[in-house]
Amino acid sequence: MSDDLAESYEAEGIEAFDRLTTAVNGLGSRLSGLEANLGAKVVRAEETASTASLAAANAMSAAEHAEATARAGARAVAAWAVLGALAGVLVAGGVGYWFGHASGREGGLAEGYRATRNEQAAASWANTPSGRLAFALDKAGGLSMVTACNAAGWWIETRQGQRYCFVGPAPNRSTYGWPLP
């Protein structure tokens, strides 16, 4: 039995070896297929990574360009805002000057005309006989004494709300008076 058993073991061993060989050969082909599949996936992953890297670089470039454009735009907006504010100040100052100048000019002209009217009236009266006489009395020194009622023997009384200057007789039976022109 030992020969039969040995043959049986040998046949089983060969059969097991054949099965193992078939299994190893099948595993080899499966590994080759898996290797090819993994290789394709690695290539696809590398392509995807390359595409992602290129997209990231493009995005960074676009962001830098957008930032530079925004800075330039902000500078332009700020410059226009400053120019607009300056123009507004100049316009407001000009309008204020115009209205103030016109108002001051009108007021000055009105005051000038008023003063001129008074001077014209005074000049007109001064050229009358009464005006010439009053001027001569003032030159002689008597006008201030008459208007102040302050000569010797003169006094001021108020009657019915009006002030009057009275002249009395002098003690030597003469009348006080004033110098004539």
Within this chain, do residues 122 and 153 fall inside the same structural domain, yes or no? no
pTM summary value: 0.30
Q: What is the total count of domains within the chain?
A: 2
Assign 22 to helix, strand or coil.
helix
State pLDDT tens for residues 116-168.
Answer: 666 776 677 778 888 888 888 888 888 888 888 887 778 888 989 999 888 87
Same domain, 108 and 36: yes
Q: What is the DSSP string of 23-69?
A: HHHHHHHHHHHHHHHHHHHHHHHHHHHHHHHHHHHHHHHHHHHHHHH
**pLDDT tens digits for 25-47?**
777 777 777 777 777 777 787 77
Question: Would you say residue 13 has pLDDT above 80?
Answer: no
d(CA 153, CA 100): 58
Q: Are residues 148 and 123 in the same domain?
A: no
- Would you say residue 151 lies in a domain? yes
**Above 80 in pLDDT, residue 19?**
yes
Q: Within this chain, do residues 99 and 173 fall inside the same structural domain, yes or no?
A: no
Range of the domain at 29: 2-127
Residue 82 has pLDDT above 70, yes or no: yes
